[in-house]
């Protein structure tokens, strides 16, 4: 990996040069990102880095890149230099058509639409160095490499890069831990004393939250019947004969003996199996590396990196992206309290969504895909998080690709997830969704394992049939 990594660093340094020039010329920079945890982490890292340089900039998150294109057509985008984060690699031509006159930096890890980079553009994407953007590095990792090239002191953002990668589920490959470029960033964060890592059960808050609360907070994997249900978690733990208190003090996961941990683990598995869930695939998701942010207070939702990612998602998917961006950039105090409230509401909302979509009529099984019909019941901004949850909770058959959708006006937002074994057998969801969406008048793209699309509502049936057929033929 070393040589591609060196080349990636070189490319990141070049991206930093372009941004540095913009800052030195006192140009107005515009940061544009998507609305998920990785995007907000990437943008937060860049916001923090630009603050430190006293640069003039605006930052905004968009649900779809078309929002920005529409504003550009109305002459409402005034910046001299535009930096795209976690978005843009699939739209190089469109971006060039609208912003060809300006300086543009694209920092993204989605599959690039083409290898050509227009003049005046800078395009940082790990696929150019032969690195897999789905597992090796996320947009926040790339933004971090750029920010480090801007200023050594920006190492303080290394934990945020880890948060973003976990938000994009880059830790999923049989074992739940980060690899590749992500692992290098983890190493750096650990060396600087900003992060602790441990191999353990992946409960949110293993070292500081009462056991039953930690289990109820755990949402990656999502544990149906347990996530969001402290009462159920308490009774499960008690029924396993595990003491929840030592004297007056609540016990935390880290206090448990190995024997107690395995009793807990097996207890969770039998609980899920008793609900008819494919417990063994969920079980695999429950063990791995836990990433803790050493400098965050223990009472916050920022201490556990996976939970931090959830908090950012909660901000982004409820129309409060700016709150998440600010927290990722380092703002605390009242804004953090607001973000934590958003996460609490979001957890409840997602638990409700999970109940809605696991009703038999909400799921349709086709030959190679399972379709989750969100209809008007699910907020379109939450479709992709929901798809990730369902795929991580192992609730659908492993041999099928998951497609979830929800309506917004006369459009349909689609989100798709495949397993690693699909990819090994040749599936590339990014290209399938891009081509099929394009053929029915929509647009789509993404990674081999995870992709999204936006299509006209009246083309939904045709779209699903064609995706099913394409998945079959790629297999
Ligand atoms: Mn991303």
- Single residue among 195, 216, 250 that ends a domain in this structure: 195
How many angstroms is it from 112 CA to the middle of ligand 1? 13
End-to-end CA distance of the chain: 28
Angle CA(163)–CA(168)–CA(172) in degrees, nearest 5? 100
Q: Is residue 475 a part of any domain in this protein?
A: no
How many angstroms is it from 87 CA to the middle of ligand 1? 8
Q: Where are the alpha helices (DSSP H) in 172-229?
A: 180-191, 211-217
How many angstroms is it from 188 CA to the middle of ligand 1? 21
Q: How far apart are CA 280 and CA 261, in angstroms?
A: 17
pLDDT at 391: 84
Which DSSP letter does residue 386 get? H
Ramachandran area for residue 415 (φ above 0: left; ψ -120 to 50: alpha; else beta): beta
Same domain? For 181 and 298 the reply is: no
Query: Are 369 and 346 within 8 A, CB to CB?
Result: no
pLDDT at 1: 57
How many angstroms is it from 437 CA to the middle of ligand 1? 20
- Please list the ranges in the chain whose pLDDT falls under 50: none
How many angstroms is it from 127 CA to the middle of ligand 1? 13
Q: How far apart are CA 193 and CA 196, in angstroms?
A: 8
How many angstroms is it from 362 CA to the middle of ligand 1? 28
pLDDT at 331: 97
Q: How far apart are CA 328 and CA 405, in angstroms?
A: 29
- Single residue among 165, 195, 225 that ends a domain in this structure: 195
How many angstroms is it from 381 CA to the middle of ligand 1? 15
How many angstroms is it from 60 CA to the middle of ligand 1? 16
**Structural domain containing residue 135:** 2-195
pLDDT at 220: 83
CATH number at residue 421: 3.10.310.40
For residue range 328-360, list pLDDT tens digits in order.
999 999 999 999 999 999 988 888 888 887 777
How many angstroms is it from 256 CA to the middle of ligand 1? 35
- Single residue among 136, 164, 195 that ends a domain in this structure: 195
How many angstroms is it from 138 CA to the middle of ligand 1? 5
Specify which residues 105 forms β-bridges with.
Answer: 83, 122
Q: Is residue 346 a part of any domain in this protein?
A: yes
How many separate domains does the chain show?
3
pLDDT at 349: 87
Same domain? For 345 and 277 the reply is: yes
Q: How far apart are CA 349 and CA 165, in angstroms?
A: 23
pLDDT at 283: 82
Residue 249 has φ and ψ, to the nearest 5°, of -95, 135
């Amino acid at each position: 990996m070393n040589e591609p990594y060196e080349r990636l660093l070189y490319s990141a340094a070049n991206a930093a040069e372009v941004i540095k020039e913009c800052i030195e010329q006192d140009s107005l920079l515009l940061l544009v990102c998507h609305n998920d945890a990785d995007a907000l982490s990437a943008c937060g890292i860049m916001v923090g880095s630009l603050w430190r340089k006293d640069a003039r900039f605006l930052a905004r998150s968009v649900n779809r890149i078309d929002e920005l294109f529409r504003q550009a057509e109305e002459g409402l985008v005034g910046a001299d230099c535009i930096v795209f984060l976690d978005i843009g690699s699939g739209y190089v031509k469109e971006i060039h058509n609208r912003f060809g006159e300006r300086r543009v930096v694209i920092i993204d890890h989605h599959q690039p639409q083409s290898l050509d980079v227009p003049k005046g553009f800078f395009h940082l994407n790990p696929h150019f160095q032969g690195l897999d953007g789905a597992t090796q590095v996320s947009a926040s990792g790339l933004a971090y490499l750029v920010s480090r090239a801007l200023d050594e002191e920006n190492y303080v953002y290394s934990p945020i890069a880890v948060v973003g990668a976990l938000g994009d589920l880059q830790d999923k490959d049989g074992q739940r831990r980060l690899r590749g470029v992500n692992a290098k960033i983890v190493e750096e964060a650990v060396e600087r004393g900003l992060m602790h890592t441990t191999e353990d059960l992946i409960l949110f808050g293993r070292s500081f939250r009462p056991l039953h609360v930690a289990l109820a907070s755990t949402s990656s994997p999502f544990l149906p019947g347990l996530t969001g249900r402290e009462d159920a978690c308490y009774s499960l733990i008690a029924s396993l004969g595990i003491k929840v208190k030592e004297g007056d003090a609540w016990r935390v996961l880290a206090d448990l003996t190995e024997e107690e941990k395995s009793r807990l683990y097996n207890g969770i598995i039998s609980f899920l199996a008793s609900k008819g869930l494919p417990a063994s695939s969920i079980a695999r998701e429950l063990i791995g590396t836990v990433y803790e942010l050493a400098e965050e207070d223990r009472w916050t939702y920022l201490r556990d990196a996976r939970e931090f990612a959830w908090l950012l998602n909660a901000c982004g998917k409820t129309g409060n992206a700016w709150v998440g961006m600010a927290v990722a950039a380092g703002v605390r105090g009242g804004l953090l309290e607001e973000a934590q409230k958003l996460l609490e509401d979001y957890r409840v909302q997602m638990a409700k969504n999970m109940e809605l979509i696991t009703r038999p009529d909400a799921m349709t099984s086709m030959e190679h895909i399972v379709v989750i019909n969100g209809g008007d019941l699910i907020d379109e901004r939450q479709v992709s998080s929901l798809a990730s949850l369902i795929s991580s909770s192992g609730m659908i058959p492993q041999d099928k690709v998951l497609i979830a959708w929800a309506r917004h006006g006369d459009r349909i937002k689609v989100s798709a997830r495949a397993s690693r074994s699909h990819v090994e057998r040749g599936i590339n969801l990014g290209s399938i969704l891009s081509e099929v969406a394009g053929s029915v008048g929509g647009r789509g793209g993404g990674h081999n394992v995870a992709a999204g699309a936006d299509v006209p509502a009246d083309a939904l049936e045709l779209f699903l049939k064609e995706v099913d057929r394409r998945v079959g033929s790629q297999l």
